[in-house]
Amino acid sequence: MILRDPVHGLVAFEADEYSIVPRLLDTAEVQRLRRIRQLGLTSFAYPGADHTRFSHAIGTAHVMTRFLRRLQEIHGDLPFWQRVTTERARDAVAAALLHDVGHGPFSHLFEEALPDGPAHETWTSRVVLDPGTEVHAVLAESDPGLPERVNELVHGRHRLTYLARMVSGTFDVDRCDYLLRDAHATGVEYGLFDLDWLLRSLRFGEAPGGDGSPGLAIDGAKGLPAIESFILARHFMFQHVYFHKASRASEWMVGRLLRRVAELVADGARLPALPRALETLARTGDAPLGEYLALDDVALWTAIAAFRDARDPLVAELSQRLYARRLWKTLELYGEDREPAARDHALAVARDLAARRGLDPDQTVGLDVASDTPFEDPGDSLVVLFPSGRAKAPSEVSLLLGRLLGERMERVRLIFHPDLRDDVVRALAR
């Protein structure tokens, strides 16, 4: 199979160990990813951000093939039982392709809005392990033990540390693809990094724990700038794209909408065009896999369109505004205003103004704290290997990474009903 990809160019799965990819792509569960946007509602801020989890899955599998080719070039010094065999390559590329197969509509937003339900990783395991899915059938047909091995890899577990870290780690194939893909789709350059050089600089090193198993390493003389650019790319994408005010406001609105829908369903209310899985999740905190897989962006947007005529005022207004992109307003807090006492005061002021206007503060005012830790890997995913054979954690040899290690970056915003905008701005300016 050869495909054209806007990020990676020609993408080929022609080797025997990758023949499983076309068969997995044809399954209903993977095809469903065509109907789930990679970045949820980010297109409200960046109009080009309409790419899907399906294209990301293909890109991630492609990056995995590139990682594997590089490791096969250098695995000659390893004992044969630790090398990249045909079977291990097949397992790894299948895990890379399927790592997001359990995502719900609007990607991460759906599970954040319904925190009592299963996480997308749990749904991914169910898709892979349930004998009733087409994905499981394809995997089991290749090897009865493959579904379990793929599931373990998706969760970052494998007796070969380097293979586990390639699927789930600080410098894994998932991040390598989504940074480049999201930057391309949004039209920004923040997410660009030198993937070619990062791959070329890969080496094997001893895995953390000293048990003799191989881990991933980077050439200390050449590869450090590639690691630094990777970490900075991820940091800038969070600051400028993933934490954009329009994205955060729309996500807050969808979250509030779904929580209100769950409250109404729990009270026995009926809502138009309510997806069966959403109703079941609201009532029980879980849903049958078949119901869940019927959920995608199309199903949720269809429900939101119908909710515009709901009897509940909050459900109706939020749905009307989301459908027409008339979003809640935001006010970012800077410096000392982000401290807990100051942000609580700002929230109290906004809530008081809402109550004076006759609006329900619980429904129309919120505090959004978006946070990320750009670099929290002291060396358990990738070490820096020097010609002497000495290995160090990236944070020990890079001033930049040493400074970023463990640092939590925050953006704090008030989110409130548009009718409160002038009042909030004036009150907090004083």
Strands (E), 162-235: 202-206, 214-219
pLDDT given for residue 391 in this prediction: 84
**CATH 1.10.1040.50 for domain 244-327:** no
Rounded mean pLDDT, 318-324: 96
Sequence-separated (6 or more) residues with CB below 8 Å from residue 322: 250, 253, 254, 257, 304
Question: Tokens representing 68?
Answer: 């594997």
Question: Tokens representing 211?
Answer: 């048990």
Distance CA 264, CA 282 (A): 9
For the segment 89-119, what is each residue's pLDDT rounded down to a tens digit?
999 999 999 999 999 998 888 888 888 889 9
For the segment 130-179, what is each residue's pLDDT rounded down to a tens digit?
999 999 999 999 999 999 999 999 999 998 888 988 998 888 999 999 99
* Same fold for the pair 2-243+380-405 and 244-327: no
Question: Tokens representing 47?
Answer: 């109009």
Sequence-separated (6 or more) residues with CB below 8 Å from residue 244: 42, 45, 46
For the segment 223-271, what is each residue's pLDDT rounded down to a tens digit?
899 999 999 999 999 999 999 999 999 999 999 999 999 999 988 888 9
CATH architecture of 2-243+380-405: Orthogonal Bundle (1.10)
Question: Starting from the edge strand earliest in sequence, which strands make up the sheet with 383-385, in order?
Answer: 202-206, 214-219, 383-385, 391-392
**Average pLDDT across the chain, whole number:** 92
Whether the Cβ atoms of residue 245 and residue 239 lie closer than 8 Å to each other: no
Closest CA relative to residue 292, chosen from 306, 280, 305 = 280
Distance CA 426, CA 412 (A): 18
- What fold does the segment set 328-373+408-430 form as a domain? Alpha-Beta Plaits (3.30.70)
Sequence-separated (6 or more) residues with CB below 8 Å from residue 405: 375, 376, 378, 395
pLDDT given for residue 209 in this prediction: 54
Share of the chain above pLDDT 90, in %: 75
Distance CA 233, CA 254 (A): 28
For the chain, give every domain's residue range.
Answer: 2-243+380-405, 244-327, 328-373+408-430
User: Of the ranges 20-34, 63-77, 205-219, 388-402, which one carries the lowest mean pLDDT score?
Assistant: 205-219
Distance CA 68, CA 26 (A): 23
Q: Write the DSSP string, 66-122.
A: HHHHHHHHHGGGS-GGGS--HHHHHHHHHHHHHTTTT--TTTHHHHHHSTTSPPHHH
Q: Does the pLDDT value for residue 211 go beyond 60?
A: no
Q: Does the pLDDT value for residue 363 go beyond 70?
A: yes
Distance CA 90, CA 415 (A): 46
Which pLDDT band, with edges at 50, 70 and 90, does 207 fall under? low
Rounded mean pLDDT, 17-25: 96
What is the dihedral angle through the alpha carbons of 263, 269, 275, 277, rounded to the nearest 10 degrees?
60
For the segment 390-420, what is each residue's pLDDT rounded down to a tens digit?
888 888 999 999 999 999 999 999 999 999 9
Q: Is 123 exposed, middle or buried (0-12, 13-18, 19+ CB in 10 A)?
A: buried
